[in-house]
Amino acid sequence: MPRAAHPVRRGRLRAQRATRPVEPTRLRFYDAVQEASAAMFARPGRVVLTTLGTLLGVAAFVTVLGLTATASGQISSRFTALAATEVTVEDSPDKHDANDVGFPADAERRLTALNGVQAAGIFWQPSITGNEDAALVSARPPSLGSEEGEPLTIMAASPGFLKAARAQVKSGRLYDNFHEESKQQVALLGKAAATRLGIDRVDVQPAIFIGDKPFTVIGIINDVQRQPDILLSVIVPNTTAMRAWGNPGSGNGSNVKALIETRLGAAQLVARQAAPALRPDQPERFKVIAPPDPKQLKQQVNTDLESLFLALAVICLIIGAVGIANTTLIAVLERTAEIGLRRSLGARRLHIAFQFLCESATLGLLGGLVGTSIGVMTVVGVAIAREWTAILEPATVLPAPLIGAVTGLLAGFYPAWRASRIEPVEALRR
């Protein structure tokens, strides 16, 4: 039989058990999540309303970035080919002799010789009366137009300008290099100008007078893809205008300009080479206007869209965070007795704070998951409706639920702190 313990030893063991500290309570992560889920789903209506703000914020975040990436993929294909292939060169003789025409006589030939140029020509507006009034244009015979004449804009242009502007005639034909070189007294009418003069056909060889000089109308321009003011103008060959009214210069019409049509992608190169090709001795006198680089334009559009809509998404997330914080704080006040009971049963302040943080983070995560799904469906739906290719970056979609969770976590800090400061005795008194 075992020998009984010595009385002194038994006393020491009882004393050690009596002085041993109480084991601290522990809250496992699984238990905290389970308690938070139970508390949330006990009030499903409040959960839905609380997560709505975060849901909208995350949905806006995913939708904005997805639609921006999708739309940016269409910028290159939708970038207007006409604007991307148009270069304008303007003579600005501010520091030179005003009577010196910057464009040489063979300017059209020099420009068309550049690599990437499809058509080029010069144009300017001569001053017929020598004052600011519009030139007086009248039709002959008088029955075709007003007896007093119709004030219309006169434009002098080379044949290459008409080609670069992509002018299309309704009746007759465009003048060509023969008319230009032989200085023929011919004219083209824009559609609006022809209507105002009462001319709708050219087979009867109608004549108009510009000032006191007669011109035979050989064509009516029905449409242009560049320089739409052509439709309101009377266009005469460049050399004919210079013989009739003198070279362009100070007090004698506007400065000469050149319109250049380039191949797609060659506009930037042509813009750099145009001025030296025209006047190697004075390239600085020309002002060259080139279209923006498509890559830079695309990047600028993307940046503007992302900045604008991300600001809206952030505002939605802030609203969602305020909603979560408000609802969680109300829940803390409503559950004061429950918090006091947990504290009296051994729960520490950290456990209470952690539980409420889990609730707010879970609310944010739920809103983030649903919002991400809505955002993805929105992007795909818009892309299908517009016949685009949907572009969704994984770096945008995958972190979106986490953003919702972080938003909920940040929103729950103050309510969790308030809950942790509740004393058990005061809570149980309520």
Q: Report CA Rg, the chain.
A: 41
How far is C-alpha 210 from the geometric centre of its chain's CA atoms?
A: 46
Token pair recorded at residue 18: 């009596």
- What is the pLDDT at residue 391? 77
Distances (CA, A) of 238 to 186, 229, 368: 11, 17, 67
Pairing mode of beta strands 286-289, 86-91: antiparallel
| Residue (of 149, 136, 163, 278) closest to 230 by Cα position | 163
Token pair recorded at residue 338: 């429950």
Report the alpha-carbon distance of residue 291 to residue 79 in Å, rounded: 11
pLDDT per residue of the chain (430 residues) written in tens, 0 to 9: 445 555 555 555 555 555 555 556 666 666 666 766 666 666 666 667 667 767 777 777 787 777 767 766 665 555 556 667 888 898 876 655 555 667 888 888 999 999 989 999 999 988 775 443 344 666 655 444 444 444 678 899 999 999 999 999 988 999 999 999 999 999 999 998 888 888 888 888 888 988 888 999 999 999 998 888 899 899 999 999 988 888 776 445 567 899 999 888 788 888 899 989 988 888 888 888 887 665 665 666 666 666 766 777 777 777 777 777 777 777 777 777 877 887 777 778 888 888 888 888 888 888 888 888 988 898 888 888 877 778 787 877 888 888 888 888 888 888 888 888 887 777 666 6
Token pair recorded at residue 419: 């809950």
Residue 237's CB is within 10 A of a number of other CB atoms, namely: 27
The H or E element that residue 57 is part of is helix 44-78
Residue 141, preceding peptide bond in cis (omega within 30° of 0): yes
Q: Which residues pair with 124 in a beta bridge?
A: 156
The number of CA neighbours under 13 Å toward the Cβ of 49 is 8
Q: Measured at the alpha carbon of residue 149, what is the angle toward residues 146 and 150, in degrees to the nearest 5? A: 95
- What is the pLDDT at residue 294? 58
Report the alpha-carbon distance of residue 360 to residue 321 in Å, rounded: 9
Report the alpha-carbon distance of residue 342 to residue 353 in Å, rounded: 12
- What is the pLDDT at residue 110? 92
Predicted model pTM: 0.52
**Sole residue written with tokens 């007090």:** 251
Report the alpha-carbon distance of residue 9 to residue 7 in Å, rounded: 5
- What is the pLDDT at residue 158? 93
What ranges in 93-190 are assigned the alpha helix state H? 107-112, 159-164, 177-181
The total number of residues shown for the chain amounts to: 430
Residues 6+ apart with CB under 8 A from 193: 137, 150, 152, 231, 232, 233, 234
